[in-house]
C-alpha cells in the first residue's frame, strides 16, 4: 500500500494507476468496520481502491467538535494495509484548499432541512471537499455510507447537477450487535451511554414497523420522540421523508425513509431506516 502525505506524493502514486478503474472511499479517519464495508464494496466495483483521510474543517459547524475529532492515524494506516487498500492519501489542508481559496459548492434541495438546518454550512463544506477530492483524484466511482443518508443524497444531487462523471454507490449501515450504527464519534460515549444508545435503533425499527402496519405517521413520530426524550436523548429530529429529496412526507411509499439525529451525552447520533 502506498501512503501519500501531500499532493505531490499523491499525484505521483496516482499516475501509476492510470490504466485501471479506481474507486474512492473518502473518510475522516478513526476507521471502524463501517469504513471497511465501504472499502470491501469499492474493491468489488473497481481494480484499485484509494482511501483518503482528511478531517475537513470546512464542514464543522462547531470548532470544539473539530478540535476533538478522533485521530488514530497509525492504527488507520495499519488497518488499511491489512485490507489491501492500494493507496491512502492524507492530504494537508493546503492540498485541498490552496491559499486564498474562495470557491464553495452550495447544494439546496436535499441539503436544506435536518442536518442542513441544524448544522449551518455543514453540507456546503462536505460538497466542497468531495468536489475537490473528485477533481484531484479523478476516480471512476466513489462509495459513501448510508449511515449518513442525507449526505449521500446531497452528493448524488451535486454529481447529477454538475454532470460529474463519477458513479456514486451507497453502502448499507454497519451496526454493533445491539443495533447501534458504528461511528467514529461513538468512542466518546460512556459505557452507560453506549448501552443506552442502541435504543435509537430500536425505536427506529419499532416506528418503521408501526408505520408499515398502517398507523398514523404523525402519531408514530411523536411517540418515538417522547420515548427517546424520556430515556435522556435530546432529539434534534425524527422524521419520515422522501428518500432522495428529503422532503417530509405524510404517506409512506417504497422510497420513504425514517431519519433521526439525537444527542446522548456529548455525542450526536445519526441513524435512518
Ligand X SMILES: Nc1ncnc2c1ncn2[C@@H]1O[C@H](COP(=O)(O)OP(=O)(O)OP(=O)(O)O)[C@@H](O)[C@H]1O
Ligand Y SMILES: CC(C)(CO)[C@@H](O)C(=O)[O-]
Q: Residue count at the site for ligand X (CB under 6 A)?
A: 18
Question: Is 246 labelled a binding residue?
Answer: no
88-121 as b/e, with b when 16 or more CB fall inside 10 Å?
A: bbbbeeebbbeeeeeeebebebbbebbbbeebee
Q: What mask of x and - would describe binding to ligand X in positions 144 to 163, judged by CB under 6 A?
A: xx-xx---------------
Among 95, 146, 148, 236, contact with ligand Y (rule: CB under 6 A): 148
Residue 187: which residues within 8 A CB-CB, separation 6 or more?
Answer: 30, 70
- What's the CA angle centered on 66, arms 42 and 4, to 5 degrees? 45
Q: Which stretch binds ligand Y (CB under 6 A): 23-31, 74-82, 173-181, 222-230?
A: 23-31
**Any idea what the Cα angle at residue 53 is, between residues 135 and 29, rounded to 5°?**
145
Residue entry with cell 452528493: 155
100-129 positions binding ligand X, by CB under 6 A: none
Residue 148 counted as an annotated binding residue: yes
Rounded to the nearest 5 percent, the helix, strand and coil shares of the chain are: 45, 20, 35
35 counts as catalytic: yes
Dihedral sign computed on CA atoms, order 27, 33, 39, 42: negative
Is 208 annotated in a binding site? The answer is no
Does residue 127 belong to the site contacting ligand Y (CB under 6 A)?
Answer: no
The rounded distance, in Å, linking the Cα atoms of 41 and 104 is: 30
Distance of alpha carbon 221 from alpha carbon 239, whole angstroms: 7
33 annotated ligand binder: yes
Nearer of residues 60 and 220 to ligand Y, judged by Cβ: 60
- Sole binder of ligand X in the list 4, 14, 34, 129 (CB under 6 A): 34
Residue 184 or residue 194: which is nearer to ligand BAL going by CB?
Answer: 184
Interacting partner of 38 out of ligand BAL, ligand X, ligand Y, none (Cβ under 5 to 8 A depending on kind): ligand X
Three cell numbers written together for 239: 422524521
Among 49, 88, 159, 171, binds ligand X (CB under 6 A): 171
Q: Minimal distance in Å, beta carbon 125 to ligand X? A: 12
Of positions 42, 59, 128, 272, contacts ligand BAL by CB under 6 A: 59
CA distances 151 to 61, 122, 146, Å, are 15, 10, 8
Determine if residue 247 is labeled as part of a ligand binding site.
no
- 27 scored as a contact of ligand X (CB under 6 A): yes
Distance CA(190)–CA(266), nearest Å, equals: 9
Residues 135-154 that bind ligand BAL (CB under 6 A): 148
Of 244, 229, 238, nearest to 159 by C-alpha is 244
Provide the binding-site residues for ligand BAL, judged by CB under 6 A: 59, 148
Which amino acids are annotated as binding site, given as ranges? 28-35, 59, 145-148, 151, 174, 182-185
Which amino acids are annotated as binding site for (R)-pantoate, given as ranges? 59, 151
List residues with catalytic annotation. 35
Provide the binding-site residues for ligand Y, judged by CB under 6 A: 26-28, 56, 59, 126, 129-130, 148, 151
Amino acid at each position: 500500500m502506498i501512503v501519500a502525505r501531500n499532493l505531490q506524493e499523491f499525484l505521483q502514486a496516482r499516475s501509476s494507476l492510470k490504466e485501471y478503474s479506481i474507486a474512492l472511499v473518502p473518510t475522516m479517519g478513526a476507521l471502524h468496520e463501517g469504513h471497511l464495508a465501504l472499502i470491501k464494496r469499492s474493491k468489488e466495483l473497481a481494480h484499485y481502491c484509494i482511501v483518503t483521510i482528511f478531517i475537513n474543517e470546512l464542514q464543522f459547524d462547531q470548532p470544539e467538535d473539530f478540535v476533538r475529532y478522533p485521530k488514530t492515524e497509525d492504527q488507520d494506516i495499519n488497518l488499511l494495509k491489512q485490507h489491501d487498500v492500494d493507496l491512502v492519501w492524507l492530504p494537508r489542508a493546503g492540498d485541498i484548499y490552496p491559499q486564498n481559496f474562495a470557491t464553495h459548492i452550495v447544494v439546496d434541495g436535499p441539503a436544506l432541512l435536518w442536518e442542513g438546518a441544524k448544522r449551518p454550512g455543514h453540507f456546503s463544506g462536505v460538497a466542497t471537499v468531495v468536489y475537490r477530492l473528485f477533481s484531484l483524484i479523478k476516480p471512476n466511482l466513489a462509495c459513501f455510507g448510508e449511515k449518513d443518508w442525507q449526505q449521500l443524497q446531497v452528493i448524488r444531487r451535486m454529481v447529477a447537477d454538475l454532470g460529474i462523471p463519477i458513479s456514486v454507490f451507497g453502502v448499507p449501515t454497519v451496526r454493533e450487535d445491539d443495533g447501534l450504527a458504528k461511528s467514529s464519534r461513538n468512542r466518546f460515549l460512556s459505557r452507560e451511554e453506549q448501552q443506552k444508545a442502541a435504543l435509537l435503533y430500536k425505536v427506529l425499527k419499532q416506528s418503521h414497523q408501526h408505520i408499515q402496519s398502517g398507523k398514523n405517521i404523525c402519531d408514530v413520530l411523536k411517540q418515538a420522540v417522547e420515548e427517546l426524550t424520556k430515556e435522556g436523548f435530546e432529539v434534534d429530529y425524527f422524521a419520515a421523508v422522501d428518500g432522495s429529496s428529503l422532503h417530509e412526507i405524510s404517506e409512506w411509499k417504497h422510497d420513504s425513509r425514517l431519519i433521526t439525529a439525537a444527542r446522548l451525552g456529548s455525542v450526536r447520533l445519526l441513524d435512518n431506516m
